[in-house]
A and B are shown apart, each in its own frame.
Chain A
Amino acid sequence: MSRLLEISDLRVEFATRNGPVEALKGVSLSVGVGETLGIVGESGSGKSVTAFCVMRLLDRAGRIAGGHIRFRGEDITRAGRRVLAPLRGAAMSMIFQNPRAALNPIRPVGLQIADVLRAHESISAREARERAVALLEAVRIRDPVARLAAYPHELSGGMCQRVMIAMAIACEPSLLIADEPTTGLDVTTQKTVMDLLAETTARRGMAMLLITHDLGLAAQYCGRIAVMEQGRVVEEAPPARLFGTPGHAYTRRLVAASPRRDSTVASLVGAPEPQPMPLRPRQPLLEVRELGKRFGTAAAVDGVSFHLDAGESLGLVGESGSGKSTISRLVCRLLDPSEGSIRFDGEEIGAIPAGRFHRSPYRRAIQLVFQDHGESLNPRFSAFDSIADPLRRLLGLRDGAGLRARVEEAAERVGLPGDLLGRFPHQLSGGQKARVGIARAIAAGPRLLVLDEPTAALDVSVQAVVLHLLDRLRRESGLAYLFVSHDLNVVRMMCERTIVLQTGKLVEEGRSEVLFAAPRASYTAELLAAIPHFAPEEGDARARAAVAG
């Protein structure tokens, strides 16, 4: 097979105030005609930088310090605009991570597709319009003529990504670079978008460079996978071999840390399985009845009832718009319910207005861990101040040795080194920020911890460590967890019972192992089927089916 794209010994430097930093340290990769190559790795591994280098979209601080990029045999490493302009969009195109941000918000999508066509071919406006309709049809957008006039904000995230794909394939490029194309989309949407991508590239004989942090996704859709770590390719192999018998230590760690159907929290980090928790007498802690929340006329949560015992962990799963985050805010009493009751420890707390709940004695009993740890820490507070805030406010502790001891104790319980306490959020890594967020939540000694997608923004290896930490905390302290997540594998590992939500309504409830093994509701089964997973034989079968279809 002739090589369509060849990257050899590519080195990239970024100029920072502390001198140049090497982002790529000699990366060599190649993609054949019609081949799908996956690049997996964690944040900072240089996988996106590689893609941006190929498109020559590096920002100004970045500089190609060495190596070569050859496209169709031609060296484009230092090519000027005149060489690159006809290539970009026409011979190679790119799909970006956040489709809504990558589309121009003030231009109808039909015109944006036409723009791409007319940048490379001299065709009339009418012809461009007809081609745009055909492209929207090709990416399976229903009623494409009507959608031409739609603005990005009028389309769902999945639809926007399909429009991006339509733009990317408009000029029949021979190489498609997809940089985390489904991050931020629901699992069922992710599946339709990825199936569409696989089918389109297969039918048109296009090569694809799929960049992702999700090993399951790469395994399912790529013929060959390269694993990157800190600016280097550490291993490259077909998925079956890579995941069956990973050669490099980093790949082994990555494979182990990715949740599978049969993983446990301990197996993710390679720790010994903990003792099963002793049976405890049932002691009801939280009782939610017929809970409802309306925003305007739309019901975000509609008649949801569940209960939670002391020390129990309950999973709340659902896709975006299912009302799971709203429920977590209602239970935390940051939002007022429109109807229904929330009883905590036998006391009705749903009737206390959210604006006055900070004075309630139950405030310290119910705490929250947030999704995006970068956004959940005050940029002007050091880690110490972030953890100390609930202690000052809820326990009335004054500055001094007592406060310092409590903060240090909380930091120690979450495994945060004491010398990091003086740092500000931007000086901490993602995992460290997650630890600060958890320490803040447990500092005041809560009895119920609501975890709103606590690991959604983390790399798999960090996620594994944080999940293990959370599991250990619960076992040690008898905390009850309400664990909100879109990731069903994570919920299965973390929770004893699970609730499935769809558009604000409860669809199914049951013990996790039963619910995941034999879902009763068809929606649950659909969610489970959409999770990309490792089993390589199945992945191949699916790719073949997509090609055939």
Chain B
Amino acid sequence: MSATLRHVGWVLRGNPVTLLAGCGCGLMVLAALLGPWIAPYDPVASNVPLALQPPSAAHWFGTDQLGRDVFSRVLVAARLDLAIAASAVSLSFLIGATVGSFCGYAGGRLDAWVGRFVDVLMAFPLFVLAMAMVAALGNRVENIIYATAIINLPFYIRFSRAEVNIRRNLGWVEAARASGNSHVEVVLRFLLPNVLPAMAVQISLNLGWAILNAAGLSFLGLGVRPPTPEWGIMVAEGARFITTGKWWLVACPGAALMFAVLCFNLLGDGLRDILDPRMRT
């Protein structure tokens, strides 16, 4: 255990950006977990006399057109946005990595068919595909998750397929079979764990992208609806006031979005170094 900690420490010392990104992600997870309790105001309670106040000591991020505290809304919205992103990414990771690994291991006809299906999926403009799916399935949060998961699927399939493919003829895979493992066990117990470190980078990058995707969909009025606090909706609502100089309505949720995406992207690199057993000495 202490060896693991030492290793993590070594990676972080060599790469302080990862440490910063990790702290940023930690902050966001805290906000997601504790948001409703630590928010200074009720995020949905309107207080019209105090509408459109600029940032002040009482309202750090100002107030919106109904007098709701923008800081509280941004804080509380973290839970919904992170939840959508995390569930969408884990869904596409679980399905994509499994399907891709089996394709890469088996090759042949299965690989060819899945490969063409992935090609077809990637031929569509992905965001438009997600919009169409949410519009068709119904305007609900779970449908945003499904849509985001499906448009991310091709990346996980391709990635894990390629990673498994380069390993499937290595000695330890044959040794696993000689040790009495079936093909399925070889993929699940041997190949998938070895592909994980490389996948961690993909997952981290993808989380940021999924947050952006969810916010984009609600910005367009799909999925989450007002008055639910959500970064995409807040940007959409605030956009109406930007011409009258009420910048904080757009800038604050926008900055939160940017912060989230940036943190997850920067975390990716460091994660690979931490998870790869060969990096340890």
Contacts and interface: CB of A to CB of B under 8 A. Distances in A.
Nearest to B173: A378
A390 interface: yes
Contacts of A332: 178
Nearest to B183: A355
Most chain A beta-carbon contacts within 10 A, residue among B179, B180, B280:
B179
B170 A375 contact: yes
Contacts of B177: 334, 358
Contact of B281 (A17, A366, A368, A386): A17
A380 B193 contact: yes
Contact of B175 (A363, A366, A370, A427): A370
A379 interface: yes
Interface string B269-281: 0000000011011
B194 A368 contact: no
Contacts of A426: 277-278, 280
Contact of A364 (B10, B180, B278): B180
B198 to A, nearest CB: 12
Interface string A355-383: 10011000110111011110111111000
Contacts of A18: 281
B65 interface: no
Given A18-B281, A379-B194, A389 B171 contact: no
A393 interface: yes
A379 B278 contact: yes
Interface string A299-339: 00000000000000000000000000000010010100000
Contacts of A389: 176, 179, 181
A393 B181 contact: yes
A475 to B, nearest CB: 23
A355 B108 CA distance: 15
Measured as residues with beta carbon below 8 angstroms from the partner, the interface class of chain A is 35 or more
Contact of B194 (A363, A366, A380, A440): A380
B90 interface: no
Nearest to A360: B180
A367 B179 CA distance: 8
Contact of A440 (B170, B179, B190, B277): B179
A234 interface: no
Nearest to A364: B180
A28 to B, nearest CB: 32
Interface string B245-281: 0000000000000000000000000000000011011
Nearest to B13: A17
Interface in B158-182: 170-172, 174-182
A424 interface: yes
Interface in A33-79: none
A394 interface: yes
Contacts of B280: 424, 426
B24 to A, nearest CB: 26
B281 A375 contact: no
Interface string B76-95: 00000000000000000000
Given A17-B10, A379-B277, A372 B180 contact: no
B157 to A, nearest CB: 22
A487 B170 CA distance: 22
A145 B180 CA distance: 53
Contact of A390 (B171, B172, B180, B194): B180
B171 A394 contact: no
A18 B281 CA distance: 9
B182 A372 contact: no
Contact of A424 (B170, B172, B175, B277): B277
Given A17-B281, A378-B194, A393 B180 contact: yes
Contacts of A394: 179-180
A41 B277 CA distance: 30
Contacts of A427: 281
Contacts of B171: 370-373, 375-377
Contacts of A358: 177, 180-182
B174 A368 contact: yes
Contacts of A366: 178
A370 B174 contact: yes
Nearest to A396: B180
Contacts of A329: 174
B178 A367 contact: yes
B176 A378 contact: yes
A367 B170 CA distance: 16
Nearest to B175: A376
Contacts of B178: 332, 334, 363, 366-368, 390, 441
Contact of A380 (B179, B180, B181, B277): B277
Contacts of A367: 178
A150 B180 CA distance: 44
B278 A390 contact: no
Contacts of A373: 171
Interface in A425-472: 426-427, 437, 440-441, 444
Nearest to B279: A426
Contacts of A440: 175, 179
A390 B179 contact: yes
Nearest to A387: B179
Nearest to A376: B171
Contacts of B174: 329, 334, 368, 370, 376
Nearest to A393: B180
Complex A-B, nearest 10 residue pairs according to Cβ-Cβ distance, in ascending order? A376-B171, A393-B180, A390-B179, A370-B171, A394-B180, A375-B171, A378-B172, A389-B179, A368-B178, A358-B180
21 contacts: A17-B10, A334-B174, A334-B177, A355-B182, A358-B177, A358-B180, A358-B181, A367-B178, A370-B174, A371-B171, A376-B174, A377-B172, A380-B193, A389-B176, A389-B181, A390-B180, A393-B181, A426-B277, A426-B280, A440-B175, A441-B178
Interface of A: 17-18, 329, 332, 334, 355, 358-359, 363-364, 366-368, 370-373, 375-380, 386, 389-390, 393-394, 424, 426-427, 437, 440-441, 444
Interface of B: 10, 170-172, 174-183, 185, 190, 193-194, 277-278, 280-281
Given A368-B178, A393-B181, A427-B281, 4 more contacts: A17-B10, A379-B277, A426-B278, A444-B179
